[in-house]
Amino acid sequence: MRITFIIPSRNNLEYLKQAVKSIQDCYQDAHDIVLLDDASTDGTWDWIQQLQGENIIKYRNEGPDRVGHTVLYDVGVKLSNTEVFTILHADMVVTPKYIPNLIKRVKKGVVVSGTRIEPPLHPPGPEKIVKHLGFEPSEFSYKALLEFIEPLQKEYKSMVTEGIFAPWMMYKEDFVGIGGHDLLFAPMELEDSDIFNRMLLAGLNFVQARDAFVYHMTCRGSRFKDGLEIEREIPLPDGTIWYKPKDSEEYTKLRNNKFREWWRKWHCNVLHDDFMKPIVPPRYETAFVVHGCNLSLLEVLEPWCDRIYVDEVFQIGRMWDYVEMEGSKTNFDLTKRVLVNKHNDPQGENDIVIEFDGRQLTQDYYENFIQKIPFILGEVKELGTFEYGIFRITINKLSKINMVQPFFRNIF
């Protein structure tokens, strides 16, 4: 089976060269490669243009602004000419059995992930193997990687678990069927978690091929820049050390913003089991009626509901200051989300209304109720009104929102 590698990259030339070389060394021209340059300024596009071969497909975002992996993944899928594709990060290196061991497990309705070997820049997990073979191309040895995985190919032969993360492979038809990535998370951060949730809700099955190895330099395209700075060494319970790296300023800013977008969309945190299979609670249309609200409380609560009603005595100017300030950072229309509860009763306009005195909201209530509302509502069987601590909950309708299609459409 011929497949397509889809590799977006931004200012990651040395990593990208290494990734492409590993594909060509392992598979020659047996598979297609879509290379997508995201307005790089480090000579990436000049290098891509020099590559020869009918199996190389080239695309450039001229910029000057980046569009991010969220967009380029989908552009790559659209440009692909094969039934099956695999997403590969520019800071990943494939091994000879990576593609064969994915292909034998991929089929329609199934998403297959490989197994990452990573240096200790993220906490360890059962879905990956932590081994320091280099943070950057200049210190990486492909020969050392092949020697390291030789016994692992036998140990993990035919082993599978459930989980989903990059690198992954699937049928193009299934990807298009769920609408691709959600532009809500462009240019980057949480686009993977979002589409994995939607894959699960669409009924796709997840398989991790434990014997399909890649080496991952770990987020070198966005989170950790060249010349990596380690903040501190953190001992873990198993006796190993996690080297906590310093996040780039760009990543930190985007991450904080995109988590707020995630809460607006999903009304929960990013959740998964130990093997990275998503945990997705039901999603309901929910409104808050908050008495005694202030600006800081509005900032905390607004992303966790579809609409938030504040008292008329709340300083209207301050409310609109928030709408104007926060509105420039979000794809959602905050003029339809932040409202004044005058003399009209908002309960008839919303499926679920949660009313409470904001002055009584504690950290415990925030963590164990506000952040877990979908799970709590998932246990409700009847319509009506009931009390839960400081909260008065009115259930007018218990219709789940279909979350499979993206809220903000990409190219599909």
Report d(CA 104, CA 208) in Å as an integer. 12
CB 300 within 8 A of CB 288: no
Report d(CA 152, CA 159) in Å as an integer. 11
Chain center to CA of 221: 15
% of the chain exceeding 70 in pLDDT: 95
Amino acid type, 302: E
Three-class DSSP category at 152: helix
CB 394 within 8 A of CB 385: yes
Report d(CA 140, CA 216) in Å as an integer. 11
The pTM of the full predicted model, rounded to 2 decimals, is 0.94
For 157-190, what is each residue's pLDDT tens digit?
A: 999 999 999 999 999 999 999 999 999 999 988 9
Residue 343: pLDDT band by 50, 70, 90 thresholds? Answer: low
DSSP calls for 197-214: HHHHHTT-EEEEEEEEEE
Helix, strand, coil percent values for the chain (each to nearest 5): 35, 25, 40
pLDDT reading at 341 higher than 60: yes
Other CB atoms within a 10 A radius of the CB of residue 169 amount to 26
Amino acid type, 139: E
Three-class DSSP category at 172: helix
- Give me the residue spans of the domains in the chain: 3-266, 286-395
**Euclidean distance between the first and the last CA atom of the chain, given in angstroms as a whole number:** 25
Report d(CA 200, CA 273) in Å as an integer. 13
The HSE-up count of residue 265 (CA atoms within 13 Å, CB side) is 28
Please list, in sequence order, all residues whose beta carbon lies within 8 angstroms of the beta carbon of residue 94, skipping any fewer than 6 positions away. 19, 22, 23, 26, 88, 167, 214
Residue 78: pLDDT band by 50, 70, 90 thresholds? Answer: very high
**What dihedral angle (degrees, nearest 10) is formed by the CA atoms of 141, 33, 205, 278?**
60
CATH assignment, 3-266: 3.90.550.10
Mean pLDDT across the chain: 92
- For the packed helices 191-201 and 69-79, what is the interaxial angle rounded to 10 degrees? 60
CA distances from 52 to 3, 93, 381, 389 (A): 18, 20, 62, 66
Q: What is the pLDDT of residue 27?
A: 96
What is the total residue count of the chain? 412
| Of residues 399 and 340, more confidently modeled | 399
For 188-234, what is each residue's pLDDT tens digit?
A: 889 999 999 999 999 999 999 999 999 998 877 667 766 777 888 88
To which H or E segment does residue 6 belong?
strand 3-9
Token couple for 391: 């909260």
CA distances from 360 to 142, 363, 364, 387 (A): 58, 10, 11, 15
Amino acid type, 64: P
